[in-house]
Each structure stands twice: as structure tokens, then as C-alpha cells.
Structure 1
Amino acid sequence: MSHTDRLTLALADRYRIIRHLGTGGMASVYLAEDLKHERQVAIKVLKPELAAVLGAERFVVEIKTTAALQHPGILPLFDSGTADGFLFYVMPYIEGETIRDRLNRETQLGVDEAVRLTREIADALDYAHRRGIIHRDVKPENLLLHDGRALVMDFGIALAVSAAAGGRMTETGLSLGTPHYMSPEQATADKDLTARSDVYSLASVLYEMLTGNPPHTGSSAQQIIMKIITEPAAPVTQYRKTVPPHVAAAVARGLEKLPADRFATAKEFSDALGTVGFTQTVASAASNTRAALAAPRTRIALAALPWLVTAAALAWGLTRDTASSPPPVTRFAIARSGNGEPRDAAGSPIAVSPDGRSIAYVGSDSLGGLWLYLRAIDNLVPQQLAGTNGATAPVFSPDGRQLAFLQESRIKAIDLGSGSISPLLTQLSTNSLSWGSDGHFYFTDGGQLLRTPVSGGAVDTLLKTLPHPDDLLRWPDVLPDGRGVLLTLVRGGSPMLALYHSGENRLIEFGIGGMYPRWVSPSWVVYAVSGGTVVAASFDVKTMAFTGPASPIADNVRTGPAFPIKGGVGRDGTIAFLPGSEGGSNELVVTDRSGAVQQRFVAPDRSFFGEARFSPDGRRALLAVIELAQTNRRALWTADFQARSLSRLTFDSAAFGQAWSPDGRYAYYSTGATLRRVATDGSGKTDSLFTSPAGGISEIESTPDGAAVVMRYYKVSSGFDRDIGLVPLDGRSPLQPWLNTTFNESAIDLSPDGQWLLYSSNESGQSQVYVRRASAVSGRWPVTTGRGGATARWGARGREIVFASGDSMTAVSFTPGEEPTIGPARKLFADQTFLLGGNATPWDVSPQGDRLLTARRWTEDGRLQIEVIANWFAQRSPTGK
């Protein structure tokens, strides 16, 4: 039973859960109907990892102290309690947006409006302060705008959680307060917070409303907190000259480091904002002196923080700036369960910042959803990057301030200081990307090397003709100033090192077997060789040549399809990677609906499984097998469940998007833009059926009568947009577009009767599953609204839809009609070793709906860790010895 289903049952006597609204730092929020009072309410449910260590009874007692707050600027508490292990509290459901929503849209507010809202919030805070209640978590996300006025939410929640936890917050992996808005005393774990702490937080919010950023930013909570403690905030007028002097002075006083130097009450802060003649009475020089004198104490106080560094990582971090002796080689692992657990993903799921101080990686939240996480080397707790759900292929900017990533087939970037996300390349989909210091993205497409400005613009083709027609280019890494690009050249299925020489406009082949080369300052190239070993060799960027032999740095490094390593390399040489065997899903399993494994197949040597499809009678499966280092890189195989055997079908150079014919006698597949058919009796007989004029064919579905196929194809001319169309197999009729949109449609599945089409689309901003009538011009119904999901399949002969989201498999009933009915979600199972996501859809549902077929990577316990190696070059000379 899913988390939402359990909650629905637990609260069924009082509330009817309508839908999930979102998840914050401490709780998930649901829209519900209060059955007794017939009104809509918002129910906040504390995260399981937090609720697990709280004393439930004390939490309920502590939160009651906020129920007595009755002020027009405070969102009241209606109810609270426990049910089936859930800790929850109930508030009114108010139509509106938070200040965070407003800032995300507009960046800054008008000065008059920002001051007015701040004074309204200050009035609400002062009311609570006079009753002895401190908010402790004043931030834009907790400030609601309704009919133009400000409402303070979650009043006293942080206090209730802190008191109920009894000092055990570190067990949850969570922290109270949000780093950007914490007061210095809150950041140093002072237990006795006063109204002056909330004043500091509110001044930080006003600072952001005026300037577009909070007073202190950084790539990690640790960096932000150190700045809050030791660095004075820049005057608001430095960023916005139109801020009146009295407002700037009030903000400056509200942000003083010492509580005694701030306003004593929120009312005093509000009055100062409204007094034109107000000036800052505390000299900035004196304030800076006090901050400097306080620095030793605050550094000691940092020892009490829940995000303390490990001893090994701290020692490494401190020695990096020491010139007296080379820092020691350091190796450690990042292992985490629950929120922030590392996961594998397409391409390389890990990136290391240029200075080696931060690692970005694909991880899962407590419910199995995939996000990008940022972890400073000297920080135990990773930061989930908001807005990156479903993102893969992280790449740091050359200055380390931004992180590019692939999300819904679009390249986006997040500013690691402000957290703002912007689309960079809306017409580019690639996980083989390098961000050059010359202001360009470099990427590969088949045998081409291309470049486009980061800010947008035309795509330049740097290399489009290679020595051999079947040569492929992968994983570019730009040398300083774009003078060259390191590349993986794939020839005959084997990877080797190459370089594009910008000055001479030619490809240089080094004659060295290897993959995923990465330049390390000042004179190294790190790359992987067969068997999962990472080596380093000295390299001269002036002559574009290797100058010494390679020596090993790490072994047991996981690699993947198309020859990436499942890791990242910083310009300083720091390496972070997932350990394990090369390849991807090395096992194919048949399970029942609970996830219990009934049968398994092991991939051929140095190969792994891709897409999988049950035969129409459910006795066999059609499999994509990706061969890591063979001439035939991608082939179709069949699995016979009764004989427990695997047999190869195709011997083309590539085979994509396989599907069965309705009678099971043939398998359809594509070799790029050509649709082909192969007999499944083992004879090897193949036919070419259709060549797409638009571009490559990536997915195929046969109609029930076998007269046509539905296919997903991409249009090279329009930036690789993916669309869906139907191709009759009479050899005469042209492609008939079914879905031709600006969005990316994928993971198609035609219902057994051919009347309905399942597909995924990013039209909502995230991957969602939809169902529509086959070939209909309009009308489509969301299947996974509010739940997300990358892929779906028909089950129970078209009367059920099964979809994958994160590491979970979920089913909903489907009743066709003029307005089809989609039933409530029923979670079938969750397993982190199963590969359920992505457009390739490496899973399927049997025609009877009683079995599932999925590819997985088998490990001892299914959990991954990230291994980190730093300063490996300390024991190597520039000649590589």
C-alpha cells in the first residue's frame, strides 16, 4: 500500500484526501476535505525519517501552543494528531502563492510592496513574540500571499518539532531552519532563541525581495552558514540603488551579527521601515570588528552543527590550501540511505566541481523519486536541488557556480547560489555534454562533434566526417579556452582516445584504448580502460600530446553503455564514482505483481539488457542486448521462459525500439531511420519495410491487425523533437503523424484492442503519463497527475495501466468510454535494483497482467555508494611516474 493510500485510510473518519500538493523540508502537504465542517483544508504530514525519532505525544502537546494564536496575519492551526504512525497537523487551504513562488517568477518585488509585506509579517511575528512564541523558520516558502496580503504559515512548527525531538534532530538528517535565512545564533545551535532571531530572518527575506538574492549565498549549507557567521552582508543599495536610505539602514540593522545590535522586537523593525529619517546607528566598521573577534567562538560553535564534516574529509580540505607539503592521497565513500541515496542513471550520474569541493549526483528521495543532490566534500548531509526531479547528466560550469543537467530532454542549469533554474538549450537533448570556459557547450551526435553558445544560438558542426563510416564520438571534454576537445572515439565497438584540434580543425587519434578522457590541471588526462580501471597519464596541452605512461588510480569503477564511467572528475583531480562491474542491467527477471522474482536470465558476457517486451502469448520475451565491446553493439535476442534460454535474432550494427508482430512470428526494430522486420523462428530472415523521411525511429508498436506500426520518431531538422505517427506496412502509404507537438512524447504503448495509446510527455514541465484515443486529434487524460511517472504499460488485457515512478511500480484501473475512468493508484512494489525509468522502458507487463518483466543490476543489497579519491597526483611526478 502506498504512502498516500495509508494516509487516506488512517484519516478516513475525519478527512478525505483529494491530492498531494507538494513536499517541503519537513513535511508533505495534501489537499483534503474536512468531512465534519465541509471545507477544504491543507494537511501537513511530517516526513517519515523525522517522525521516526520524534516523541509523538510531546509533538502534539507542543504544537497545541500555536493553536491559541489568533491574528489576521497568521494562518491558524485547525487540528493535529497521530494516525497509523503519521504525525500531522491541519491548516486552512488558502488559494494563493508564496513569496517564494512570486520571487521565482519575478526575481524582485517593487520597493513599496516589499516593505509593505515585510511590515505585515512583522506585525504577525510581534503578536506571537509577545506571547512567547518564536517562529524559527521565517522564509519565503512559509509566507503566503492571499488577496495581496501576507500570511505567516507553519507558526511554531519548528519549535514543536525541536522540542519533541529532544535534541535528536541529527538522527533525521534534517535541520531546523533554512540556511539562507538563519540567524547567526540559530546557525551556531543556540537553544535560547529570542525575537531578534526572527527579526534577522525577516530582514533576510526583505533583502531577497529587494535584491533578488538572500544576503549570503553558497554552494552548500556549510558555506552559507560560515558566511552568515563571519561575513557582513553587502548593503542592499549595492545591488539596487533605488532602495531608500531608511529602508537600507533598517535592513542593515536587522542583519547585524550580534543579537543585541539588532532591533529588539519585530515592531521596532517595522517602525524603522516606515520612518523616513531612520539611520543605522551601529557603525559598519565596528560591526565588522565584532564579527572578526567573534570568529574563533563561532568556529568552535560550528562543532555542534548537524552537518559536521568527517575527520578525514576535514583534514583533506584543510590541507588543500597548505603549500608546505603535498596533501596526502585521500579515499573515502559517501554512503547514504533514504533521502539522498546515490542512484545510477543514463550517461554519467555524477559530476565533480572544478575545485573538487562539491559533488553533484543523481539520488533518490525517501519515496524513490530521482533528484539531483549537491554534497560538499566537508559536509555529511547532501542538499536536494529543488526543481531537478527526474534530472540526469549533471555538468558543472567552469567557475563551479552553476550546474547544467538534462531534464525532460532539455538542457537546463541551476544557479547553486540562488537555486534559480533557467532553460539553456530548449532544442537540444544529449547526455554527452561539456561546458567550455569559452562560453560554449560541446556535444556529440553519432559521428559529429558540435558546439553551441551557452546563452543560445546557432549550432556549429566542428567535425562531421570521420575516417570510417561507422565511427562514433562520445563524451567530449573541452581543454582550456576551447583549444581542443578530448573525445572517446568508438570504432568497431571498441573505445579509444582521440582529440579534436581546434586550431587545425582535425581529429587526432592517439592509438590508445580507453574511454571518457578528462583533463586535470595542470598536466594530466584521466580515463578508463577495459575492466573498470581508471588511469592517469601526463599530457601537454600546448603540444596536444601525452608525455608519459599511464598509471592506475582506481579499480572497480562502473562503466555504462556508450562508454562513460559512472563518475566525474574535477579539474583539481578529485574523482568520484560508483563502484561495480561495467555495463548496466546485467539481469532480466520475471516477477509476480508483488515483485517476487520467479525467473531470471543473466546477460551475455560484457553485455547488458535494455528494453524488454513480452510476446503476445506471454511465453517469450524480446530483448535488447547492448554489447559493451563487440562489433555488433546492439542486438535483439529472445528469452524462452519454458526452455529458460536466450537466443540471438539480429546481427545488424544496431537495433532499436523492438516490438512483436501480433502473431509472434516477427519482430520489428529500427536501425536508425529504417524500419526492419526479422523472423523470430531463428532463421535470421530480415526485410526492410520503411525509411523515415523525418529522422530516426526510436520506438515501435504494432497495431492489433498487423497492418501498420505506430512509431516514435525524432526530427533532426527541428532539434530532435520526438513525435508519434503511424506507418501502414503496405509499402505505399506515407507516415501519418498522430502527435506532432513542441513537447517530447515517449514510452508509447498501444492498447490490446488498438483503440487507446499510452505515452509520456513533458508538456506539464515534468514527465507524466497520458492516455488518448488512438489517432484522435484531440482529447487526452492524465494517468499520473500529482504522482509523476516516466513510463507505463497496459495490463489485464487493456483494463489496467501499470506505471513506473522512481523505484516503484503502481497500477490503476482503466475503464474505456467517452470519458474514460482511471481508478485510484495501487502500489504493487518497490525495488531499487530494478531499472524502471527512462524512455527505453526496460520493463513490461504480461498480456494477462499477472507477471512483470524488468531488467536490473544485481548487487548484494541493491544500494550504491559513491567512492571519492583526492590528491592522487601527490605521489606522481609530471612525467607520470
Structure 2
Amino acid sequence: MTPPLERLKTALADRYRVERELGAGGMATVYLAHDLRHERDVAIKVLHPDLGAVLGADRFLTEIKTTARLQHPHILPLLDSGAADGLLYYVMPFVNGETLRTKLERETQLAIPEAIRIAVEVADALEHAHRQGVVHRDIKPENILLQDGHALVADFGIALAVQQAGGQRMTQTGLSLGTPQYMSPEQASGERVVDARSDIYALAAVTFEMLTGAPPFTGASVQAIMARVMTSEPEPLTRVRKTVPQAVEAAVFQALAKLPADRFASAREFATALRQDTSAVNTPQLSAPNRKSRKGVLVCVSLAMLATAAASWAAARATAGSGTDSRPSRQRVVLWNTAVPVATSPGAQFISTQMALSPDGETIVFADSTSAGWSLFRKRRAEQDAVPIVGTDGGRSPFFSPDGRWIGYFSSDATLSKIAVEGGTSIRLVTGATNRFYYAGAWLSDNTIVFTAGDSGGVRRISASGGVSNALNVPREWNGQLPHIEALPGGKGLLIVACESNCSLKVDAFFYDLVKDSLTLAIPDVAGAWYHEQSGLVLTTPRDGGLFAGTFDAKRGVLTGDLKPIIDRVAPGQFAMSATGDVLYSLTRSGDAKRELVWVDRGGKATPVDSSWREWFEYPAVAPKDGRIGVSVRGAATVLWLREADGSRTPVRAVGNIAWRPTWSPNGERMLFVGSMPKPAPVGRTNAIFESDAAARALPTKLRDYGPSTGALWEAEVCDNGALAFRTDDPVGLSNIYATLPGDTTTLTVASGPAQDIQLALSPDCRTIAFMSNASGRANVYIVDFPYARTRRLVSRDGGEEPRWSKDGRTLYYVGNGTLMQVPMGTDPLRTMGEPTSLFRLDGYARARNRPQYDVSPDGRFLMIKEPPAPAVPPVVYVQNWIPELLAKVKQ
């Protein structure tokens, strides 16, 4: 099928010279073009073909004419519209500026006068449109353009035209009109008839984001955001930013009212309220969201416990010399120079928090990357700037000793060390302490440290003075994947947040009884858990963000009260708490990051596979003959999709809720993938190898569920004759590659030993297998004869990983130092092999440590995953004297 850009160029050649793509959104792709008749640059928006097919040209073009009459200084006008070669399009002036979204990503928060001015200009535009009977329905930072500092609202009436033209067929496509973070409650609930007050709500949400750095409600999924829009109350502006005038806060919160009748009657009224003197309106009292409460005696007991906890905390805080002012104090702090990752993909591979708060709440220690690499920094509350802690090169995931005098941390060279808060010589405690992704440690009151010991060591305990470490009795399937460890009072128990399968789906908090050496599930589905002794509360962050709290029995490791929502936008796992009750947390960024599948030619030029399909893609695989694509999409579950050559897409049926890492047989008749299977607690699932039918309709067949030593399965490839190659993580923590022959249950060893042997790739003739191994001390690509592995040859010369064969088997590709490399192969690669040469850099494309993130098509192009733009540095909030407010929220 001809790409949309080429179709558009051909169809509009007599009127516009279409030059290039500017960007893509949920409904349309934008192209830069030159208006040949009027000698001016314009922007042409083309509805995605699937959407255009549903709508139909005649009805859509009839409805869109209603927007052409809007003439206002702050409205981007509609110049033209039409249908070209089946593509529906409309034309607007090209604005040589930026969107409000781009400005927010760069600056996070705007100056208050600037934010109010932009909001007022957008309100003026809305007032004009509403008087003409046009409701925008999709006000968001992406639709607000900034030219010479002034606002221009784009896409006026487009959403209405789409809905009116599409009718009931819109719901059949799965498309949503509006953007969840800015949808009014009535729009989020699916009401088709919305009026001007819905636009006022959306503008208030944008104003909220301009002032605070994030919209009122966020979440990991559309459903989570919509639920919060309809049921939760936003955090007061002045809690996040004290300098926001009371009148502005009052205006924004009235415009964000759940009921349209409670909002301003017009956009003009909202603009007038925003411009009022700060003394004209008092800050509104926010109503608490409806929450389920426990019944009977337990309610009385919990309230009594909370009241006692509040009094105990107040007394402890006073004893600590916190002063007479016990009101919460909030401030934004700048820690990181770069965007410290919360996870490498949505809901996956959580890392330990990179910030720690001293027991007295006065000192923040955090890890950040510098030009020389990672290091620890110290920032005292009374000081404006953070200073590097000398001697902590490579330092990450810091944690304090109970007396606040020492900092424990991990290094990039796989060591556990400690250093005095005041500085000095770093003392190495353990070598080989952890693996590349998961760093977690806790300093207990008995002066021992519990820490993640890495792939081969599980979880261990060592004296803070050094010496021999002892292993804790934790499941082998955790394999060192612990995002967080929390010491409970008395040094007798721990909260361990752990996962499996690279934290790809489920993360839970477990209670470890150090006296009984036993493990039980404490809190399911959380990416972090922190206990505050004086209040008796446990604080948790779920996978999709936010902060929850509930009463917790630290001796038995069980919740004694419901977890209640406390703060909406806390990033998963990114929270720290002092013994005095001060807290530090990182906020999530707005918007959902999406990857894009692209074809890349041998010169490095990328072309979208399908510009209307953007998800969190992983592990693409191209069929050897007909161009079909298998690719995983990660979200609440990891779903495998099959994309046909004509662009149609079908989800592959799976047994569990993980289906990923597809691979094709050389003849294209079989597609294998890794899926999940139930397994007894405390580890709930394990992996198996499945085979799907060519049409992806039947329930897949399980080929194998364990390695030879019951190790979990992670990769597999198959020959046309049924010979199978697969990779497991064996009990000792090493990754090994094995093979089975057709009709034979004997397991053959392809690559094993004291090394990580991963990323297997069978040649098309199934006589040779390539893989990555770190047996030499660094990652390199090797080939051996398959299946007996009698001869091994080194392929890469200066490090390498992610090998992939061309479909004809004449070339082996791999990634070396961020570059795609190629090696010509003879008919017998073990005897005849060329020298590696480079093709192009892989900056901006997805990479993986355990399975290649690209594939090679039959015509020699590369199917790759383009990463979304790097997120801005996450905002961090520091709150002092927080516990009384927390207790009040838990009692509600």
C-alpha cells in the first residue's frame, strides 16, 4: 500500500507542494506544505485512514464547514478542506512557533502572569466560538500554539465534526474524542452532548498544569485517568505552589467543578475571575472524594489508633525540636540534572528510588548523572544548592543509617558501600552486590544491612561493619528483582517489594519475618511500600502512580485498615520519608509516552510503519516472506499483535496476561512467543513457550514450560523441522541456551557456564546459532554450529549484542557501541566470515538487554522501535510537618 504522504503529494500536486511530516496525534497526521497559489506555507492535517474510512468524506466535509466562519485573533483559521485519494484533510496556516506542550516540557511551570495571560487569551477565543455555537471539545496544550508569545487555538470544531460525521460508528473504532487529562467529567463519562462548560473545564485543567507542572489528574491508563476525573478532587494549587494568588486558585477550582452547573457560565466569566485582585475571592474549601469506609468496631478502633498516632507523632516532633509551627509546608526542589527514570517502560522494570531523606528530615541525598558518570549529591534543607559527595563515583540508590550518620549505596561496578554523611572515605562492604537494573537496600536498627545481591545472590544480610553476608530465604524466581526494601521497627521484619519476569506485570510487597525466616504476601500490586512508626501507617505507590495509605501491623506484617488515596501524581516507587514524618516525592509527567514502529533503510532513514499506531512496542519480528509483523504491546497486560501486510491487526490469543518476544520459523508458517502461566504463591506466574497458528485465532499450543533445571524460559526460536532453541535463567542465576531435536526429549546444551548467554538467533538454514555472551568479561556476539555447539567463533570485535540474521542468511547484524554492524557470512559461517562494518547509529531506538529489539525484513530493511522524546526532569515535592494532614486524610 502506498504511504499516506506519497498519496497526498500526488493527489494535491496541483494546489500544494507537500514537503514533510511535522507530527502525528490521536486523530491526524500533520504535514508541512507550500500553497502554490498564494505562495505561503501551510499545515495540512490528514485524518488517519482508518478514521477517515469510518467517517466518510461527504458528511465530514459538510460538518467541518461550520468551523470556517470562526474569525478571531486567538483562533487559528481553517483555510481549506477536502478529500484526496481517500484521505480526508483540512488546511491551516503554518505557525512558526511552538505549542504550549513544547513550552511546558521545556519549562515545566510558567510564570504566573504568563500563565494567566495565555489562559485569558484562550478563554477569549472560546467565548467567540461558543457564541457561534461551536464547542472545541479537545482543549489541551498540544492544540494551543504560541506565536510571538500569544496563544492561537487550533482544531476548533474538528472533534465536533468527527463526532457528528461518525455517529455511533465512533465507538466501534475504539477512538475517544478528547484527551483524558483534560476531559470534563461529563465528557469522560461518554455523554455525547456537551456544552461550552466542558471547554471551560478543559481550559482550567490546562491552567492548572501551567501553574503546577502537571494536569489535575494523571494515571497509567486512560481508564485510570477517567476514573480520577469523575471521582477525585485535585490537589490545591497553593499546596504545590505557594505563590499562586487565592483568586486564581478559586477561579481554577470553580472551573474544575464536577457538575457543569457549578462552573462559570461562560469562558468570559472565567477570564474575568482569573484577572481579579487576589483579595477578591477566598480560597475555596475542597470537598473530600467519596470513599468506602470500614464498618463496625474496626472503624472505632482504627480512628482511636489514628488519634493516638497523631498525638504520639506531635509529641515526637516536638521532642525533635521542630518548633511551634506544625502546619504542613510544601516546596518544589530541584534535584536532578537529567530525567531519572522511574521505569524503562510503562509498569515495567521499576528501579529503586534515587533519593533518600535523613531520619531527621533535614538532609536529602540523591543520585544523579554527570559528565563523568553517576554520583551521589547532598542537599540540606537550609541550603539552596546540592553538593557532590566526593568518593561516590558510580553511586546509586542511596539509603540512610537509622542514626542518620551514614549513607549506604550501590555503585555501577556492582558493589555495596557506605560513606559518612559529612564525607570522607567510602568503605566497600560487598562486591557483586546487584545487577544492572535493580538496586535496593535497607539499614536495620541492629546495624545490619539487607540488600539486593543480584542475579546469583538473591537477598542477603550483612553487618554494617562488613564481613560475611547471609542469604535470606526468598524465591529463586525473584532473581534479584527488588525495587525496594523497607526496614520495620525493632530490626525484626522487612517489607520487600519484589517481582519477576523483569517486573513486566506484577509487583507486590512481602513481609519478611527475620526471626522466623518466613515470607508472606503483605500488600499486592504495589511498586513501593514505606512504614512510619509513630503514625502506624504504611504508604504505598501502585504501578500506575499515586500515593495510598493505611494502618499496618508491623509485627505481623498485615494491613489493618483500607488503603486510601492520598496524592494522585506520585511516581511509582519514587517516595522517601523521614522518621519525623517529612516526605519527599517525585511527580509523574503528563501524557502517555508512546513508541513508534519504523522501517529503517541501510542508510539510516526511517519511515513509519503505520503513523496511526503508537503504543509501547517491544520485540518486533518480521515474517520471512509476506511482510507480516508480530510485536508485543505493553500496558495493563502485555499483548502480542499480528499485523498483516495490508495493515490490519489481530491480537494473538494467549493463556495468561503476558505474550511477548515473538519469532518466526524460517518458512513463516510458525510463530513462537513467550507467555505466562499460573504458578503457586508466593510467585504467581512463570513463563512458557507457545506456538500460535498463522491466523492468530486459535488458542496457542504450549511447547515447553521449563528449562532442563526448571529455570524460567525467556527466548525461543524454531526450525522448519521442529528443532527448538531456547534460553533459560537457571537456579544459579546464569542464562544458558539449550536445544531439542524433533521427536527427541533429550536436551542439548548450546551455551552454558559462568556467563550470561542470551539473545539467541538461529540462521535461516538452522545450521548456525548466534548469541551474546559475556564469558570474556564483556558482551560479545558469537556463533556456534547448531545444535551440537562443537565449534565457536567470535563475531564482534569490540563488544556486541542483539544479533539478527538477514532472511537469506548471508549477513549477520548486531549492535556494537550504539551502532548497527553487519558481517558478511559465507555458506559455512564457521569457516568463512567477513569483517564487521558499521551501517548507522541507533540513537533514539529501543534497546534491550535480553532480547533484540529489532528485526530484518526480506527486502533488507530493518524494523525498529523509535523511542518517544525523553521526559523532562520530574518535579520533586518536599513536605515538612505532613503527618497530621496525612492522618486526617486516612480518617476521612
SS class of match (2:861): strand
8 Å contact from structure 2 (residues 98, 147) kept in 1: yes
SS class of match (2:209): helix
Deviations 1:809-860 (A, max 9, x none): xxxxxxxxxxxxxxxxxxxxxxxxxxxxxxxxxxxxxxxxxxxxxxxxxxxx
2:769 pairs with 1:802: no
Give 1:393's aligned residue: 349
SS class of match (1:515): helix
8 Å contact from structure 1 (residues 538, 550) kept in 2: yes
8 Å contact from structure 2 (residues 455, 734) kept in 1: no
Give 2:430's aligned residue: 463
1:101 deviation in Å? 0.9
Alpha-carbon distance in structure 1 between the residues aligned to 2:506 and 2:268: 61
Identity of aligned residues (%): 33
Give 2:241's aligned residue: 239
Alpha-carbon distance in structure 2 between the residues aligned to 1:477 and 1:504: 17
What is the identity, as a one-letter code, of the residue corresponding to 2:476?
G
1:133 deviation in Å? 1.3
8 Å contact from structure 1 (residues 667, 679) kept in 2: yes
Task: Give the 3 Å change call, closer, same or farther, for CA 475–157 of structure 1 in structure 2.
Answer: same
Alpha-carbon distance in structure 2 between the residues aligned to 1:206 and 1:678: 58
Deviations 1:5-42 (A, max 9, x none): 78658956676664443333443434455677675443
Task: Give the 3 Å change call, closer, same or farther, for CA 283–179 of structure 1 in structure 2.
Answer: farther
Alignment partner of 2:476 out of 474, 497, 514: 514
1:105 deviation in Å? 0.7
Alpha-carbon distance in structure 2 between the residues aligned to 1:54 and 1:480: 61
What is the identity, as a one-letter code, of the residue corresponding to 1:105?
R
Give 1:131's aligned residue: 132
Task: Give the 3 Å change call, closer, same or farther, for CA 55–698 of structure 1 in structure 2.
Answer: closer
Alpha-carbon distance in structure 2 between the residues aligned to 1:552 and 1:245: 42
Matches within 5 A, 1:265-304: 265-270=266-271, 278=277, 288=285
Give 1:841's aligned residue: none
Give 2:809's aligned residue: none
Task: Give the 3 Å change call, closer, same or farther, for CA 40–790 of structure 1 in structure 2.
Answer: farther
Alpha-carbon distance in structure 2 between the residues aligned to 1:534 and 1:72: 51
1:145 deviation in Å? 0.9
SS class of match (2:469): strand
Give 2:23's aligned residue: 22
Alpha-carbon distance in structure 2 between the residues aligned to 1:219 and 1:109: 25
1:89 deviation in Å? 3.4
2:775 pairs with 1:671: yes
8 Å contact from structure 2 (residues 416, 428) kept in 1: yes
SS class of match (1:126): helix
Alpha-carbon distance in structure 2 between the residues aligned to 1:585 and 1:232: 40
Alpha-carbon distance in structure 1 between the residues aligned to 2:732 and 2:659: 16
Alpha-carbon distance in structure 1 between the residues aligned to 2:27 and 2:776: 47
Alpha-carbon distance in structure 2 between the residues aligned to 1:273 and 1:529: 50
Alignment partner of 1:589 out of 660, 665, 669: 665
1:172 deviation in Å? 4.8
8 Å contact from structure 2 (residues 33, 44) kept in 1: yes
8 Å contact from structure 1 (residues 749, 793) kept in 2: no
Alpha-carbon distance in structure 2 between the residues aligned to 1:790 and 1:16: 36
8 Å contact from structure 1 (residues 538, 548) kept in 2: no
Task: Give the 3 Å change call, closer, same or farther, for CA 546–215 of structure 1 in structure 2.
Answer: same
Give 2:842's aligned residue: 761
What is the identity, as a one-letter code, of the residue corresponding to 2:839?
L
Alpha-carbon distance in structure 2 between the residues aligned to 1:577 and 1:506: 41
Task: Give the 3 Å change call, closer, same or farther, for CA 395–168 of structure 1 in structure 2.
Answer: farther
8 Å contact from structure 2 (residues 343, 350) kept in 1: no
SS class of match (1:76): coil
8 Å contact from structure 1 (residues 610, 626) kept in 2: yes
8 Å contact from structure 1 (residues 76, 92) kept in 2: yes
1:387 deviation in Å? 12
Alignment partner of 1:748 out of 793, 801, 821: 821
What is the identity, as a one-letter code, of the residue corresponding to 1:749?
Q
What is the identity, as a one-letter code, of the residue corresponding to 1:464?
T
Deviations 1:432-479 (A, max 9, x none): x989799999779797557999xxx9998652168xxxx989956555
Task: Give the 3 Å change call, closer, same or farther, for CA 190–474 of structure 1 in structure 2.
Answer: closer
Give 2:202's aligned residue: 201
| Equivalent pairs, count | 611
Give 1:716's aligned residue: none
Task: Give the 3 Å change call, closer, same or farther, for CA 106–652 of structure 1 in structure 2.
Answer: same
Alpha-carbon distance in structure 2 between the residues aligned to 1:393 and 1:99: 31
Task: Give the 3 Å change call, closer, same or farther, for CA 757–229 of structure 1 in structure 2.
Answer: same
8 Å contact from structure 2 (residues 43, 91) kept in 1: yes
Give 1:627's aligned residue: 728
Deviations 1:518-566 (A, max 9, x none): 6799877798999x9999998555xx25455879999xxxxxxxxxxxx
Task: Give the 3 Å change call, closer, same or farther, for CA 253–5 of structure 1 in structure 2.
Answer: closer
Give 2:528's aligned residue: none
8 Å contact from structure 2 (residues 474, 519) kept in 1: no
Give 2:592's aligned residue: none
Task: Give the 3 Å change call, closer, same or farther, for CA 259–480 of structure 1 in structure 2.
Answer: farther
Specify every segment of 5 or more residues in structure 1 that has no aligned partner in the other structure, as ranges. 300-316, 326-384, 412-424, 426-432, 555-566, 703-708, 714-722, 724-744, 770-788, 808-881
1:141 deviation in Å? 1.5
Task: Give the 3 Å change call, closer, same or farther, for CA 441–269 of structure 1 in structure 2.
Answer: farther
1:97 deviation in Å? 0.8
Give 2:596's aligned residue: none
Matches within 5 A, 1:33-182: 40-46=41-47, 54=55, 57-81=58-82, 87-166=88-167, 171-182=172-183
1:104 deviation in Å? 1.3
Matches within 5 A, 1:469-548: 478=441, 484-485=449-450, 487=452, 498-499=460-461, 506-510=468-472, 514-516=476-478, 540-541=512-513, 544-548=514-518
Matches within 5 A, 1:234-383: 234=236, 239-241=241-243, 251=252, 254=255, 263-270=264-271, 278=277, 288=285, 318=292, 324=298
Give 1:775's aligned residue: none
Alpha-carbon distance in structure 2 between the residues aligned to 1:150 and 1:537: 47
8 Å contact from structure 1 (residues 211, 236) kept in 2: no
What is the identity, as a one-letter code, of the residue corresponding to 1:393?
Q
SS class of match (1:63): helix
8 Å contact from structure 2 (residues 139, 203) kept in 1: yes
What is the identity, as a one-letter code, of the residue corresponding to 1:73?
H
8 Å contact from structure 1 (residues 526, 534) kept in 2: no
Deviations 1:338-383 (A, max 9, x none): xxxxxxxxxxxxxxxxxxxxxxxxxxxxxxxxxxxxxxxxxxxxxx
SS class of match (1:176): coil
Task: Give the 3 Å change call, closer, same or farther, for CA 122–527 of structure 1 in structure 2.
Answer: closer
Task: Give the 3 Å change call, closer, same or farther, for CA 214–634 of structure 1 in structure 2.
Answer: closer
8 Å contact from structure 1 (residues 77, 91) kept in 2: yes
What is the identity, as a one-letter code, of the residue corresponding to 2:854?
T
Task: Give the 3 Å change call, closer, same or farther, for CA 259–54 of structure 1 in structure 2.
Answer: same
Deviations 1:777-814 (A, max 9, x none): xxxxxxxxxxxx95365976xxx43333489xxxxxxx
8 Å contact from structure 2 (residues 822, 839) kept in 1: yes
8 Å contact from structure 2 (residues 55, 166) kept in 1: yes
Task: Give the 3 Å change call, closer, same or farther, for CA 505–577 of structure 1 in structure 2.
Answer: farther
Alpha-carbon distance in structure 2 between the residues aligned to 1:118 and 1:688: 65
Structure 1 length as normaliser, TM-score?
Answer: 0.51
Alpha-carbon distance in structure 1 between the residues aligned to 2:443 and 2:212: 34
Alpha-carbon distance in structure 2 between the residues aligned to 1:678 and 1:220: 42
What is the identity, as a one-letter code, of the residue corresponding to 2:665?
V
Alpha-carbon distance in structure 1 between the residues aligned to 2:91 and 2:748: 58
Structure 2 length as normaliser, TM-score?
Answer: 0.50
8 Å contact from structure 2 (residues 414, 431) kept in 1: yes
Alpha-carbon distance in structure 2 between the residues aligned to 1:515 and 1:79: 60
2:854 pairs with 1:791: yes
SS class of match (1:141): helix
1:157 deviation in Å? 1.9
